[in-house]
Amino acid sequence: MKVSIPLHSRRELLLGVALAGRAAESRDVDYFADNGFGNPSSTLQHPTGVNHNGATYIAYQGPHEDSYVAAYHHASHKWSGPVLAGVNLMGKSPDPVENKDLDNHGKPAMMVDKKGYIHVVFGAHGGSPILGKNTLGTPGSLRGGKFTHIVSKNPEDITAWVKLENISPFGTYPQFVQMDNGDLYLFYRHGAHRSDWVYQKSVDFGRTFQPPVSILKHKAQQSNPAVHDSWYAWFAKGHGETITASHVYHLCENPGHTNERSNTYFMRMNTRDGSWVNAAGEKLTISVTKEYADRKTLIFDTGTERCSHGTCRVDSNGNPHVNFRYGKGQVRYCRWTGTEWTKPTPIFPDGGASDGDLVVESPTSARMILTSRNGDTAEVGWWKTIDGGTTWSKEPPILAKPGGSYDIGALIENFDQDAVILLSEEIPADYLYRRMILLSNKGPVKRPAVDASYIQDKLKALRDAGVEPETKESRAVSKPNKKRKGA
Protein backbone atom coordinates (compact mmCIF):
# COMPACT_ATOMS: atom_id res chain seq x y z
CA MET A 1 0.00 0.00 0.00
CA LYS A 2 1.34 3.40 -1.00
CA VAL A 3 1.51 5.92 1.84
CA SER A 4 1.16 9.61 1.05
CA ILE A 5 3.33 11.96 3.10
CA PRO A 6 2.19 15.58 3.38
CA LEU A 7 4.51 18.14 1.79
CA HIS A 8 5.39 19.80 5.08
CA SER A 9 6.21 16.37 6.59
CA ARG A 10 8.47 15.52 3.66
CA ARG A 11 10.32 18.79 4.12
CA GLU A 12 10.74 18.08 7.82
CA LEU A 13 11.98 14.56 7.01
CA LEU A 14 14.52 15.80 4.47
CA LEU A 15 15.66 18.52 6.85
CA GLY A 16 16.07 15.95 9.59
CA VAL A 17 18.20 13.71 7.33
CA ALA A 18 20.35 16.68 6.28
CA LEU A 19 20.87 17.82 9.86
CA ALA A 20 21.72 14.27 10.94
CA GLY A 21 24.31 14.06 8.13
CA ARG A 22 25.83 17.37 9.11
CA ALA A 23 25.93 16.32 12.75
CA ALA A 24 27.73 13.12 11.80
CA GLU A 25 30.24 15.06 9.69
CA SER A 26 30.84 17.71 12.34
CA ARG A 27 31.26 15.36 15.30
CA ASP A 28 34.73 15.33 16.82
CA VAL A 29 36.83 12.19 16.43
CA ASP A 30 39.99 11.01 18.16
CA TYR A 31 42.12 11.05 15.00
CA PHE A 32 43.32 13.90 12.82
CA ALA A 33 43.60 11.84 9.62
CA ASP A 34 42.60 8.36 8.45
CA ASN A 35 45.17 8.03 5.65
CA GLY A 36 48.12 6.59 7.53
CA PHE A 37 49.33 3.61 5.52
CA GLY A 38 51.09 0.39 6.44
CA ASN A 39 53.36 1.24 9.33
CA PRO A 40 53.06 5.05 9.27
CA SER A 41 55.70 5.89 11.91
CA SER A 42 58.03 4.28 14.42
CA THR A 43 60.61 5.13 17.06
CA LEU A 44 63.46 4.31 14.65
CA GLN A 45 62.61 7.14 12.24
CA HIS A 46 62.45 10.21 14.46
CA PRO A 47 61.39 12.82 15.31
CA THR A 48 58.05 12.42 13.55
CA GLY A 49 56.65 15.45 15.36
CA VAL A 50 58.10 18.80 16.47
CA ASN A 51 56.56 21.47 18.72
CA HIS A 52 57.66 24.85 17.35
CA ASN A 53 56.35 28.36 18.03
CA GLY A 54 52.87 27.35 19.13
CA ALA A 55 52.28 24.54 16.62
CA THR A 56 53.05 20.83 16.50
CA TYR A 57 54.15 19.62 13.06
CA ILE A 58 53.74 15.93 12.24
CA ALA A 59 55.13 13.74 9.43
CA TYR A 60 53.95 10.22 8.64
CA GLN A 61 53.65 7.64 5.87
CA GLY A 62 50.44 7.87 3.90
CA PRO A 63 49.04 6.28 0.72
CA HIS A 64 51.63 5.10 -1.84
CA GLU A 65 54.09 5.17 1.12
CA ASP A 66 54.45 8.91 0.45
CA SER A 67 55.22 11.44 3.18
CA TYR A 68 52.39 13.55 4.54
CA VAL A 69 52.64 16.50 6.93
CA ALA A 70 49.99 18.00 9.22
CA ALA A 71 50.05 20.78 11.83
CA TYR A 72 48.12 21.37 15.05
CA HIS A 73 47.89 24.98 16.22
CA HIS A 74 47.71 25.00 20.01
CA ALA A 75 46.12 28.41 20.71
CA SER A 76 43.26 28.00 18.23
CA HIS A 77 42.95 24.20 18.64
CA LYS A 78 42.79 24.00 14.84
CA TRP A 79 44.40 21.57 12.41
CA SER A 80 45.88 22.19 8.98
CA GLY A 81 46.67 19.44 6.49
CA PRO A 82 47.63 16.75 6.07
CA VAL A 83 49.26 17.60 2.76
CA LEU A 84 51.29 15.41 0.43
CA ALA A 85 54.81 16.68 1.03
CA GLY A 86 57.01 14.18 -0.82
CA VAL A 87 56.61 11.20 -3.17
CA ASN A 88 58.27 7.91 -2.20
CA LEU A 89 59.81 6.13 -5.20
CA MET A 90 59.22 2.77 -3.51
CA GLY A 91 55.45 3.25 -3.43
CA LYS A 92 53.18 1.11 -5.60
CA SER A 93 50.00 2.15 -7.39
CA PRO A 94 47.31 1.30 -6.58
CA ASP A 95 47.95 0.97 -2.86
CA PRO A 96 48.65 -2.66 -1.89
CA VAL A 97 46.13 -4.43 0.32
CA GLU A 98 48.53 -6.99 1.80
CA ASN A 99 51.33 -6.21 4.21
CA LYS A 100 53.85 -8.34 2.32
CA ASP A 101 53.64 -5.92 -0.61
CA LEU A 102 54.81 -2.95 1.47
CA ASP A 103 58.41 -2.00 2.19
CA ASN A 104 57.65 0.39 5.08
CA HIS A 105 61.26 1.63 5.35
CA GLY A 106 60.67 4.95 3.61
CA LYS A 107 58.86 6.51 6.57
CA PRO A 108 59.78 10.13 7.28
CA ALA A 109 61.73 11.87 10.01
CA MET A 110 61.33 15.61 10.44
CA MET A 111 62.85 18.66 12.11
CA VAL A 112 62.01 22.37 12.27
CA ASP A 113 65.19 24.47 12.04
CA LYS A 114 65.87 27.64 14.01
CA LYS A 115 64.46 29.77 11.17
CA GLY A 116 61.18 27.87 11.18
CA TYR A 117 61.67 25.85 7.98
CA ILE A 118 60.36 22.29 8.18
CA HIS A 119 62.70 19.53 6.99
CA VAL A 120 61.59 15.98 6.09
CA VAL A 121 63.83 13.06 5.05
CA PHE A 122 62.23 9.87 3.72
CA GLY A 123 61.90 7.49 0.82
CA ALA A 124 64.52 4.75 0.78
CA HIS A 125 65.39 1.26 1.92
CA GLY A 126 69.04 1.53 1.08
CA GLY A 127 68.62 3.38 -2.21
CA SER A 128 68.66 1.89 -5.68
CA PRO A 129 71.94 0.63 -7.25
CA ILE A 130 71.15 2.72 -10.34
CA LEU A 131 72.04 5.80 -8.26
CA GLY A 132 75.75 4.95 -8.31
CA LYS A 133 78.30 3.28 -6.04
CA ASN A 134 77.67 3.06 -2.31
CA THR A 135 81.13 3.33 -0.74
CA LEU A 136 79.82 2.87 2.82
CA GLY A 137 77.64 -0.16 2.32
CA THR A 138 75.32 -1.89 -0.10
CA PRO A 139 72.37 -0.30 -1.88
CA GLY A 140 68.94 -1.83 -1.73
CA SER A 141 67.18 -3.54 -4.60
CA LEU A 142 66.13 -1.79 -7.79
CA ARG A 143 63.08 -0.78 -5.78
CA GLY A 144 65.29 0.54 -2.98
CA GLY A 145 64.09 4.09 -3.57
CA LYS A 146 66.11 7.25 -3.04
CA PHE A 147 66.96 8.92 0.25
CA THR A 148 65.24 12.28 -0.17
CA HIS A 149 65.39 15.61 1.67
CA ILE A 150 62.62 18.17 1.28
CA VAL A 151 62.10 21.50 3.05
CA SER A 152 59.08 23.76 3.34
CA LYS A 153 59.13 26.64 0.85
CA ASN A 154 58.28 29.08 3.65
CA PRO A 155 58.78 29.01 7.42
CA GLU A 156 56.01 27.37 9.47
CA ASP A 157 54.06 26.60 6.28
CA ILE A 158 53.22 23.04 5.21
CA THR A 159 51.54 23.91 1.91
CA ALA A 160 54.57 23.99 -0.44
CA TRP A 161 57.81 22.00 -0.52
CA VAL A 162 61.21 22.11 -2.22
CA LYS A 163 63.52 19.14 -2.82
CA LEU A 164 67.19 19.64 -1.85
CA GLU A 165 69.85 17.40 -3.41
CA ASN A 166 72.25 17.66 -0.48
CA ILE A 167 72.31 14.23 1.22
CA SER A 168 73.41 10.78 0.12
CA PRO A 169 70.81 8.92 -1.97
CA PHE A 170 71.73 5.73 -0.08
CA GLY A 171 70.05 5.49 3.28
CA THR A 172 67.26 4.40 5.57
CA TYR A 173 66.12 5.08 9.15
CA PRO A 174 66.61 8.88 9.12
CA GLN A 175 67.04 10.54 12.53
CA PHE A 176 67.42 14.29 13.06
CA VAL A 177 69.23 15.92 15.98
CA GLN A 178 69.33 19.72 16.29
CA MET A 179 71.78 21.37 18.64
CA ASP A 180 71.20 24.59 20.59
CA ASN A 181 73.33 26.58 18.11
CA GLY A 182 71.19 25.42 15.18
CA ASP A 183 73.57 22.82 13.76
CA LEU A 184 71.63 19.92 12.25
CA TYR A 185 72.80 16.31 12.36
CA LEU A 186 71.17 13.68 10.16
CA PHE A 187 71.94 10.13 11.30
CA TYR A 188 71.02 7.08 9.21
CA ARG A 189 72.14 3.70 7.94
CA HIS A 190 74.01 4.30 4.69
CA GLY A 191 72.29 1.67 2.57
CA ALA A 192 70.69 -1.73 3.07
CA HIS A 193 71.51 -4.13 5.91
CA ARG A 194 75.22 -4.43 5.17
CA SER A 195 76.05 -0.76 5.57
CA ASP A 196 77.66 1.63 8.03
CA TRP A 197 75.69 3.95 10.27
CA VAL A 198 76.71 7.53 9.51
CA TYR A 199 75.87 11.15 10.11
CA GLN A 200 75.88 14.24 7.94
CA LYS A 201 76.23 17.66 9.56
CA SER A 202 74.78 20.99 8.45
CA VAL A 203 75.90 24.36 9.82
CA ASP A 204 73.57 26.42 7.59
CA PHE A 205 70.16 25.19 8.74
CA GLY A 206 70.05 22.20 6.43
CA ARG A 207 70.78 23.99 3.16
CA THR A 208 74.02 22.05 2.72
CA PHE A 209 75.37 18.98 4.47
CA GLN A 210 78.95 17.83 4.95
CA PRO A 211 79.93 14.38 3.59
CA PRO A 212 78.85 11.30 5.57
CA VAL A 213 80.97 10.32 8.58
CA SER A 214 80.96 6.61 9.48
CA ILE A 215 80.47 5.78 13.17
CA LEU A 216 79.25 2.15 13.29
CA LYS A 217 81.08 -0.21 10.93
CA HIS A 218 79.57 -3.13 9.03
CA LYS A 219 81.90 -5.91 7.88
CA ALA A 220 82.03 -9.55 6.87
CA GLN A 221 83.03 -11.99 9.59
CA GLN A 222 86.44 -13.61 9.05
CA SER A 223 85.13 -17.09 9.82
CA ASN A 224 82.23 -16.80 7.34
CA PRO A 225 82.16 -14.05 4.69
CA ALA A 226 78.45 -14.76 4.08
CA VAL A 227 77.70 -13.37 7.55
CA HIS A 228 78.04 -9.64 8.21
CA ASP A 229 78.12 -7.60 11.39
CA SER A 230 75.44 -4.92 11.23
CA TRP A 231 73.53 -2.59 13.55
CA TYR A 232 70.30 -0.86 14.50
CA ALA A 233 70.92 2.46 16.23
CA TRP A 234 69.02 5.32 17.91
CA PHE A 235 70.42 8.85 18.29
CA ALA A 236 69.21 11.82 20.35
CA LYS A 237 70.41 15.09 21.84
CA GLY A 238 72.25 14.55 25.10
CA HIS A 239 73.43 16.94 27.79
CA GLY A 240 74.91 20.24 26.57
CA GLU A 241 76.79 19.76 23.31
CA THR A 242 76.53 15.97 23.20
CA ILE A 243 74.59 13.40 21.18
CA THR A 244 73.85 9.93 22.51
CA ALA A 245 73.84 6.68 20.54
CA SER A 246 72.26 3.47 21.79
CA HIS A 247 72.38 0.49 19.46
CA VAL A 248 71.87 -3.25 19.10
CA TYR A 249 73.84 -5.77 17.06
CA HIS A 250 72.40 -7.50 13.97
CA LEU A 251 73.98 -10.67 12.64
CA CYS A 252 73.14 -10.42 8.94
CA GLU A 253 73.16 -13.68 7.00
CA ASN A 254 72.85 -13.91 3.23
CA PRO A 255 71.05 -15.95 2.08
CA GLY A 256 68.69 -16.79 4.92
CA HIS A 257 68.28 -13.31 6.36
CA THR A 258 66.47 -13.29 9.72
CA ASN A 259 65.45 -10.67 12.28
CA GLU A 260 68.10 -11.83 14.78
CA ARG A 261 69.39 -9.00 16.98
CA SER A 262 71.28 -9.06 20.24
CA ASN A 263 73.07 -7.06 22.93
CA THR A 264 72.71 -3.37 23.63
CA TYR A 265 75.42 -0.69 23.54
CA PHE A 266 75.96 3.00 24.29
CA MET A 267 78.35 5.77 23.28
CA ARG A 268 78.29 9.58 23.23
CA MET A 269 79.48 12.23 20.78
CA ASN A 270 80.96 15.62 21.69
CA THR A 271 79.80 17.91 18.88
CA ARG A 272 82.50 20.50 19.60
CA ASP A 273 85.18 18.30 18.06
CA GLY A 274 83.32 15.24 16.74
CA SER A 275 84.94 12.87 19.26
CA TRP A 276 83.15 9.89 20.82
CA VAL A 277 83.39 8.32 24.30
CA ASN A 278 81.73 5.45 26.12
CA ALA A 279 79.60 5.90 29.24
CA ALA A 280 82.71 5.99 31.46
CA GLY A 281 84.23 8.81 29.37
CA GLU A 282 86.88 6.67 27.69
CA LYS A 283 87.70 8.01 24.23
CA LEU A 284 86.71 5.76 21.34
CA THR A 285 88.18 5.11 17.92
CA ILE A 286 85.59 5.60 15.19
CA SER A 287 84.15 3.80 13.32
CA VAL A 288 83.24 1.09 15.81
CA THR A 289 83.36 -2.60 14.89
CA LYS A 290 81.53 -5.43 16.68
CA GLU A 291 84.67 -6.65 18.47
CA TYR A 292 85.55 -3.11 19.59
CA ALA A 293 81.98 -2.42 20.74
CA ASP A 294 81.97 -5.62 22.83
CA ARG A 295 85.07 -4.39 24.66
CA LYS A 296 84.27 -0.69 25.00
CA THR A 297 80.55 0.16 24.72
CA LEU A 298 78.55 -2.92 25.79
CA ILE A 299 75.68 -2.29 28.22
CA PHE A 300 74.22 -5.79 28.37
CA ASP A 301 74.95 -9.14 26.70
CA THR A 302 71.62 -10.76 25.79
CA GLY A 303 73.18 -14.08 24.79
CA THR A 304 70.84 -16.04 22.52
CA GLU A 305 67.81 -13.89 23.40
CA ARG A 306 66.56 -11.47 20.75
CA CYS A 307 67.00 -7.80 21.65
CA SER A 308 65.27 -4.88 19.90
CA HIS A 309 66.32 -1.24 20.02
CA GLY A 310 64.62 1.27 22.30
CA THR A 311 65.28 4.89 23.10
CA CYS A 312 67.84 6.75 25.22
CA ARG A 313 67.52 9.97 27.23
CA VAL A 314 69.86 11.63 29.75
CA ASP A 315 69.47 13.08 33.24
CA SER A 316 70.71 16.43 34.56
CA ASN A 317 74.18 14.96 35.07
CA GLY A 318 74.35 13.81 31.47
CA ASN A 319 74.11 10.14 32.47
CA PRO A 320 72.17 7.98 29.99
CA HIS A 321 68.96 6.07 30.73
CA VAL A 322 68.24 3.38 28.14
CA ASN A 323 65.28 1.14 27.33
CA PHE A 324 65.19 -1.84 25.01
CA ARG A 325 63.08 -4.95 24.39
CA TYR A 326 64.57 -8.24 25.50
CA GLY A 327 63.29 -11.58 26.80
CA LYS A 328 59.89 -12.37 25.21
CA GLY A 329 59.65 -8.76 24.06
CA GLN A 330 59.71 -7.26 27.54
CA VAL A 331 60.53 -3.56 27.66
CA ARG A 332 63.51 -3.21 30.00
CA TYR A 333 65.26 -0.19 31.48
CA CYS A 334 68.74 0.48 32.79
CA ARG A 335 70.80 3.58 33.61
CA TRP A 336 74.39 4.62 34.03
CA THR A 337 74.99 5.59 37.68
CA GLY A 338 78.21 7.43 36.95
CA THR A 339 80.32 4.33 37.56
CA GLU A 340 78.34 1.36 36.22
CA TRP A 341 75.22 0.21 34.38
CA THR A 342 72.33 -0.98 36.53
CA LYS A 343 70.80 -4.38 35.87
CA PRO A 344 68.10 -4.15 33.17
CA THR A 345 64.70 -4.43 34.83
CA PRO A 346 61.35 -5.07 33.10
CA ILE A 347 58.76 -2.30 33.14
CA PHE A 348 55.98 -4.91 32.87
CA PRO A 349 56.94 -7.91 35.04
CA ASP A 350 54.83 -10.20 32.84
CA GLY A 351 55.62 -8.60 29.50
CA GLY A 352 52.86 -7.15 27.38
CA ALA A 353 54.32 -3.80 26.31
CA SER A 354 55.36 -3.26 22.72
CA ASP A 355 57.16 0.06 22.36
CA GLY A 356 57.44 3.62 23.61
CA ASP A 357 59.72 6.41 24.76
CA LEU A 358 61.34 7.73 27.90
CA VAL A 359 61.38 10.94 29.94
CA VAL A 360 64.08 11.35 32.61
CA GLU A 361 63.05 13.60 35.50
CA SER A 362 66.06 13.07 37.79
CA PRO A 363 68.94 10.59 38.15
CA THR A 364 66.57 8.15 39.91
CA SER A 365 63.17 9.17 38.53
CA ALA A 366 61.92 8.43 35.03
CA ARG A 367 58.70 7.81 33.13
CA MET A 368 57.96 5.71 30.06
CA ILE A 369 54.98 6.15 27.77
CA LEU A 370 54.13 2.75 26.32
CA THR A 371 51.59 0.85 24.28
CA SER A 372 50.40 -2.30 26.04
CA ARG A 373 47.53 -4.73 26.36
CA ASN A 374 45.28 -5.31 29.35
CA GLY A 375 43.43 -8.44 28.34
CA ASP A 376 41.70 -7.57 25.09
CA THR A 377 42.07 -3.83 25.68
CA ALA A 378 44.79 -1.80 23.98
CA GLU A 379 46.23 0.88 26.27
CA VAL A 380 48.61 3.80 25.99
CA GLY A 381 49.91 5.40 29.16
CA TRP A 382 52.73 6.27 31.52
CA TRP A 383 54.73 4.05 33.84
CA LYS A 384 56.96 5.65 36.48
CA THR A 385 59.95 4.78 38.64
CA ILE A 386 61.25 6.83 41.59
CA ASP A 387 63.89 4.33 42.74
CA GLY A 388 66.23 4.25 39.76
CA GLY A 389 64.29 1.63 37.83
CA THR A 390 64.05 -1.07 40.48
CA THR A 391 60.25 -0.84 40.55
CA TRP A 392 57.67 0.73 38.23
CA SER A 393 54.11 1.90 38.91
CA LYS A 394 51.38 2.19 36.30
CA GLU A 395 49.51 5.46 35.94
CA PRO A 396 45.89 5.50 34.68
CA PRO A 397 45.91 4.93 30.88
CA ILE A 398 45.56 8.01 28.71
CA LEU A 399 43.89 5.94 26.01
CA ALA A 400 42.19 2.53 26.23
CA LYS A 401 40.13 0.69 23.62
CA PRO A 402 38.72 -2.86 23.78
CA GLY A 403 39.91 -4.84 20.79
CA GLY A 404 42.08 -1.96 19.60
CA SER A 405 45.67 -1.91 18.43
CA TYR A 406 48.06 1.06 18.51
CA ASP A 407 51.57 1.65 17.18
CA ILE A 408 53.64 4.40 18.79
CA GLY A 409 56.44 6.69 17.66
CA ALA A 410 59.04 8.67 19.59
CA LEU A 411 58.03 11.60 21.76
CA ILE A 412 57.22 14.87 20.00
CA GLU A 413 60.37 17.00 19.95
CA ASN A 414 60.00 19.76 22.60
CA PHE A 415 56.59 18.30 23.51
CA ASP A 416 54.20 19.88 25.97
CA GLN A 417 51.18 18.39 27.75
CA ASP A 418 48.86 19.26 24.84
CA ALA A 419 50.74 17.19 22.24
CA VAL A 420 52.94 14.39 23.58
CA ILE A 421 53.30 11.58 21.06
CA LEU A 422 52.08 10.26 17.69
CA LEU A 423 50.06 7.05 17.42
CA SER A 424 48.54 5.08 14.58
CA GLU A 425 45.46 2.93 15.10
CA GLU A 426 44.95 -0.31 13.25
CA ILE A 427 41.48 -0.76 11.74
CA PRO A 428 41.25 -4.31 10.33
CA ALA A 429 38.18 -3.49 8.23
CA ASP A 430 40.02 -0.67 6.47
CA TYR A 431 42.76 -2.69 4.78
CA LEU A 432 46.24 -1.24 5.45
CA TYR A 433 45.07 2.31 6.18
CA ARG A 434 45.50 3.68 9.71
CA ARG A 435 43.99 6.42 11.79
CA MET A 436 46.61 8.93 12.94
CA ILE A 437 46.30 10.18 16.53
CA LEU A 438 48.12 13.01 18.29
CA LEU A 439 47.98 12.15 21.97
CA SER A 440 47.99 14.73 24.77
CA ASN A 441 48.29 13.87 28.44
CA LYS A 442 44.49 14.12 28.64
CA GLY A 443 43.71 12.01 25.59
CA PRO A 444 43.59 12.30 21.79
CA VAL A 445 43.64 15.78 20.25
CA LYS A 446 40.28 15.81 18.52
CA ARG A 447 39.21 17.02 15.11
CA PRO A 448 35.88 17.25 13.25
CA ALA A 449 35.22 13.99 11.41
CA VAL A 450 34.66 15.74 8.10
CA ASP A 451 38.15 17.27 8.30
CA ALA A 452 39.81 13.99 9.33
CA SER A 453 38.35 11.86 6.53
CA TYR A 454 40.55 11.31 3.45
CA ILE A 455 40.20 7.74 2.19
CA GLN A 456 36.47 7.03 1.82
CA ASP A 457 36.70 6.91 -1.97
CA LYS A 458 39.61 4.47 -1.80
CA LEU A 459 37.72 2.21 0.61
CA LYS A 460 34.56 2.27 -1.48
CA ALA A 461 36.49 1.36 -4.65
CA LEU A 462 38.13 -1.60 -2.90
CA ARG A 463 34.87 -2.87 -1.45
CA ASP A 464 33.03 -2.41 -4.73
CA ALA A 465 35.76 -4.49 -6.39
CA GLY A 466 35.26 -7.25 -3.82
CA VAL A 467 38.79 -6.94 -2.38
CA GLU A 468 38.96 -8.31 1.15
CA PRO A 469 41.18 -6.69 3.80
CA GLU A 470 43.89 -8.64 5.54
CA THR A 471 43.21 -10.44 8.77
CA LYS A 472 45.72 -10.85 11.59
CA GLU A 473 46.04 -14.51 10.59
CA SER A 474 46.79 -13.79 6.93
CA ARG A 475 49.23 -11.04 7.91
CA ALA A 476 51.17 -13.49 10.09
CA VAL A 477 51.43 -15.88 7.15
CA SER A 478 52.51 -13.15 4.71
CA LYS A 479 55.20 -11.84 7.06
CA PRO A 480 56.56 -14.71 9.16
CA ASN A 481 58.55 -13.84 12.25
CA LYS A 482 61.80 -15.65 11.47
CA LYS A 483 62.36 -14.59 7.88
CA ARG A 484 61.23 -11.03 7.78
CA LYS A 485 62.18 -9.16 4.65
CA GLY A 486 63.71 -5.72 4.86
CA ALA A 487 64.30 -5.17 8.55
- Catalytic machinery residues: 105, 173
Q: What value, to the nearest 5°, has the Cα angle with vertex 378 and ends 69 and 335?
A: 80
Calpha distance 453→34 (Å, rounded):
6
Which residues in 7-20 are b (16+ Cβ under 10 Å) and which e? eeeeeeeeeeeeee
